Amino acid sequence: MTRQRVHHQIEIIAGEQVVHRAVAVAAEFFLSAPTAVSEQVGDGHDLVLPGGLLKPPCMNAQSTASLTQDSDPDGSTSFGACGTHEEELLGRENGCQWRYEAPTPSRCQGARLCHPRGPPYFITLPPGAVAPASFAADPPPLVHTQLDQIQASVATDLLQNIEAQTPWTGLQLVDLVDGQAIGATSSEEVTLLLLQGQGVTATGDGLQAPAAVVTVADSRAFTSAGAARVLSARVEMQSESAAATYYDRFDAQQLTWRDSIHGGSGRIATRHLWRPEDFAGDGWVFVDHAILGEDSSLGHHYHGALEEAFVVLKGKGWMTMGDSTFEVGPGSVTFQPVGVGHGLYNPFEEELDFVRLAVGIPGETFTTIDLDSDLRDRRPGDG
């Protein structure tokens, strides 16, 4: 797959209203060979914009046309569409239409791409489609919270300014006093990350940080013994379930080392504490423990139909989210919305130990798209 950088104007249109505009910005097209790009375009391997990823015209669309581009001697870029062979694509005139067969309901109505030197390119979809929330006029707010900067309190919601597309109902930092319990309501499935302190689970087992508890319909899933700090990741369930609580520990000795993932460099160790089949509801996708080796990276990528939170336990690194790069360390929590490119680089001489919490859109299959960058050239403050 090749990468070419162009400058152009983009408008995402819902009815007569422009809901996203980016003028003369740097965008990256990720294309395979010209004769085989239709599925790539339809699957959303299209544009990376400052502030996040834009995938015109539809996350779930299946393309019946193809797209390629050719750089002119003066540095401008020409686009072609509507063909299936390389010679046709490169010879097309401006203004060709791309037509898609989109599932119902579709996530967007249409998009228009404008070359600065030529007429617009129109993308059309069946009527009745609706633009997704991720195509709002402004990019999703950047969520990076440093927990050690939050004073002890009953509960602090880290996602209060986020309109999640998945069934997250909250990501709360809770400080427990001796003998205080925490758990889930009958309509929630909750993952509790025990970050500091110790206590007892609903099953009577002792637990010491760092550890995790998953609970459904159990208001006393974990009871602290002394002061304890817990991160409560709450996800709505579509139907009530019988009470259940189980737990696991974050043990580095249980992780499996391998080459880094998502186009990253170096080495990473991972273990799924819980997978989709381990949860009672259909919102949670996984709870994962990972260690990023020295001078290693989790490559730049994004997800469709899935939102993630990263929680750093130990070590430091440089997180890239959207078009911003910043340093993370112990107690850092980040939230990655659907479709927003992200990745993590550890340039330090210490392993980076972190947890990944993933929640999906019920009924949709989540996707992971690698963006062909190991992020080693990114630095805090870039963006």
Q: Mean pLDDT over residues 44-72, rounded?
A: 30
Q: In whole angstroms, what is the distance from residue 168 CA to residue 207 CA?
A: 25
pLDDT at 141: 65
Residues in a beta bridge with 121: 113
Q: Phi then psi for 307, rounded to 5 degrees?
A: -120, 145
HEC string for the chain? CEEEEEEEEEEEEECCEEEEEEEEEEEEEEECCHHHCHHHHHCCCCEEECCEEECCCCCCCEECCCEEEEECCCCCEEEEECCCCHHHHHHCCCCCEEEEECCCCCCCCEEEEECCCCCEEEEECCCCCCCCHHHCCCCCCCEEEEHHHCCCCCCEECCCCCCCCCCEEEEEEEEECCCCEECCCCCEEEEEEEEECEEEECCCCEEECCEEEEEECCCCCEEECCCEEEEEEEEECCCCCCCEEEEEECCHHHCEEEECCCCCCCEEEEEEEECHHHCCCCCEEEEEEEEECCCEEEEEEEEECEEEEEEEEECCEEEEECCEEEEECCCEEEEECCCCCEEEEECCCCCEEEEEEEEECCCCCCEEEECCCCCCCCCCCCC
pLDDT digits (tens, 9 = 90+) for 72-117: 333 333 333 222 222 222 222 223 222 222 222 222 223 323 222 2
**% of the chain beyond a pLDDT of 70:** 63
Query: What pLDDT is stored for residue 238 in this prediction?
Result: 87
Domain-terminating residue out of 135, 152, 180: 135
Residue 183 and residue 298 in one domain = yes
Query: What is the C-alpha separation between 272 and 297, in angstroms, rounded?
Result: 19
pLDDT of the residue at 326? 96
Same domain for 341 and 284 = yes
Same domain, 256 and 341: yes
Task: Examine the pLDDT at 322 and tell me if it is beyond 60.
Answer: yes
CATH number for 352:
2.60.120.10
What is the rounded distance in angstroms from the CA atom of residue 27 to the CA atom of residue 10? 10
Q: What is the pLDDT of residue 143?
A: 83
pLDDT, residue 51, reads 28
Q: Which range, 38-47, 154-163, 168-177, has the best average confidence (pLDDT)? A: 168-177
Domains: count for the chain = 2
Residue 82 included in any domain: yes
Classify residue 73 as exposed, middle or buried by CB count within 10 Å of its CB (0-12, 13-18, 19+): exposed
* 193, 355 contact by CB (below 8 A): yes
pLDDT at 59 over 70: no
What is the pTM (predicted TM-score) of this model?
Answer: 0.67
Report if residue 241 sits inside a domain: yes
Residues 116 and 169 in one domain: no
Residue after which a domain boundary falls, among 135, 157, 180: 135
Mean pLDDT (the chain, rounded): 71
Of the candidate ranges 162-166, 200-204, 259-263, the one whose mean pLDDT is the lowest: 162-166
Domain that holds residue 225: 143-370
Mean pLDDT score, 184-212 = 96
Evaluate if residue 240 carries a pLDDT over 50: yes
Residue 83 shares a structural domain with residue 119? yes
Non-local CB neighbours of 8 within 8 Å, separated by 6+ positions: 24, 25, 27, 77, 113, 114, 115, 116
Write out pLDDT tens, residues 244-257. Answer: 999 999 999 999 99
Q: What is the pLDDT of residue 142?
A: 65
Name the domain boundary from 135, 153, 180. Answer: 135
pLDDT of residue 140: 59
Q: How far apart are CA 125 and CA 111, in angstroms?
A: 9
User: What does the pLDDT read at residue 258?
Assistant: 97
Contact call for residues 312 and 326 (beta carbons, < 8 A):
no
Q: Residues 27-49: what's their mean pLDDT?
A: 26
- Phi/psi region, residue 269 (left: phi>0; alpha: psi -120 to 50; beta: rest), is beta
Q: Percentage of the chain surpassing pLDDT 90?
A: 56
Average pLDDT over every residue of 19-47: 26
